[in-house]
Amino acid sequence: MSHDIPSSHLEKSLMSALFTPIKLRGLALANRVMVAPMCQYSAENGEANDWHFTHINTLALSGAAMFCIEATHVEAIGRITPGCLGLWNDATEAALKPILASVRKHSKTAVAMQIAHAGRKGSSHVPWNGGQLIPISEGGWQTVAPSAVPHKEGEAAPLALDAAGLARIRDAFASAAKRADRLGIDALEVHGAHGYLLHQFLSPIANKRTDQYGGSLQNRMRYPLEVFDAVRAAFPADKPIGVKVSATDWVEGGWDLAQTIEFAKELKKRGVDWIDASSGGVSPLQKIPLSPGYQVPFAQAIKEAVGVNTIAIGLITEAKQAEEIVASGKADMVALARGMLYDPRWGWHAAAELGGQVQAPPQYWRSQPSTQKALFGTTTFGAR
């Protein structure tokens, strides 16, 4: 005995999970792919320039539903390197305006921004010049941190933040959020990972405070949660805000997944819209077992334990790999960095492979392969 399967069911079963829509507050995304924030170390006094214009406009046409601008620092001493992007004054805000205007003219991708403070990992050389701490005598600056503990043995110690410093940085995050909204940014990601300031507060490796911001897990979470609350209050209620976390320090006695889950629970109470699950960065003693998708289990564990949207990252390069992550429910979205740099049309190619559709400007519609005429949702291109 045979049964006919309704065509609607067949279509649903064949639909790519990666290319189904998702809504984050008032932001509707056409697919589950984000271009991850990638430091370019190419700004001047925190100001974006022609490099950022080319970089951002190129990847805004990748087919990803959302592009996230690189770690954008909330004060000058919060930069990782002298070449890092910032959003702390009128000049840094103005430098981004023409770039975003161009993106909006040619792309329908949502534009997010990661806002950050490097803490004790600031005042560093760019990676291609070694990435080590720049002494003040050589043009560096005095870094700050939860405690006067250097990131690396032999480096100059950061200054431990006092009450005034904590308030200044918290207010700087809120101010950056307001500037981002003025620029028309659609979403924010608060950087709480990779050994930067907010991660430094979370990790007992970097946080040796004995006041209300150190010691217990509740105390170590306090300042990052205060910063999130300040950002949430400063950004429109219909625009989403996520948080990037390092789910483990990969060091014995450091921050770990169990603590990350507790942090995510507190963020969920405060209305966080996603958790971007990364790892490492707070100690040079870390031992990271790299392999394709090695961080996906963190996103899955957080999603299952907390019930919050998660973004999976880390050596995700293949379309079928990304599809499996979303289709199996391990994460709600994926974010690609190096893979997007290597293939700036990754989203197009993934959609072609998985049977999805992406948006592209009409100037590029003729690029559709003869076997993929529905890739851009259009089948004609008039010419005579």
> Tokens 């921050």 identify what position?
255
Per DSSP, what are the bridge partners of residue 116? Answer: 73
At residue 78, φ and ψ (nearest 5 deg) are -90, 0
Sign of the CA dihedral running 88, 93, 99, 100? positive
Q: Count other C-beta atoms under 10 Å from residue 217's C-beta.
A: 15
Distances (CA, A) of 216 to 200, 211, 314: 14, 10, 30
Q: 213 an active-site residue?
A: no
Q: How many helices (H) and strands (E) does the chain have?
A: 11, 12
Q: Count other C-beta atoms under 10 Å from residue 208's C-beta.
A: 14
Q: 254: which DSSP letter?
A: S
> What's the angle, vertex CA 81, arms to CA 77 and CA 85, rounded to 5?
80
Q: Decide: 354 and 324 in contact? Cβ < 8 Å.
A: no
E strand spans, the chain: 22-24, 27-29, 33-35, 66-73, 110-116, 144-145, 159-160, 187-192, 241-246, 274-278, 310-312, 333-336
Q: Which of 196, 213, 223, 294 is catalytic?
A: 196
**Closest CA relative to residue 322, chosen from 289, 346, 304, 290:** 346
Distance separating alpha carbons of residues 286 and 303, to the nearest angstrom: 25
Residue 131 token pair:
């990435």
Q: Is 6 exposed, middle or buried (0-12, 13-18, 19+ CB in 10 A)?
A: exposed
Distance separating alpha carbons of residues 318 and 347, to the nearest angstrom: 11
Residue 292 token pair:
């394709």
Distance separating alpha carbons of residues 178 and 185, to the nearest angstrom: 10
Q: Decide: 146 and 159 in contact? Cβ < 8 Å.
A: no
Task: Catalogue the active-site residues.
Answer: 196
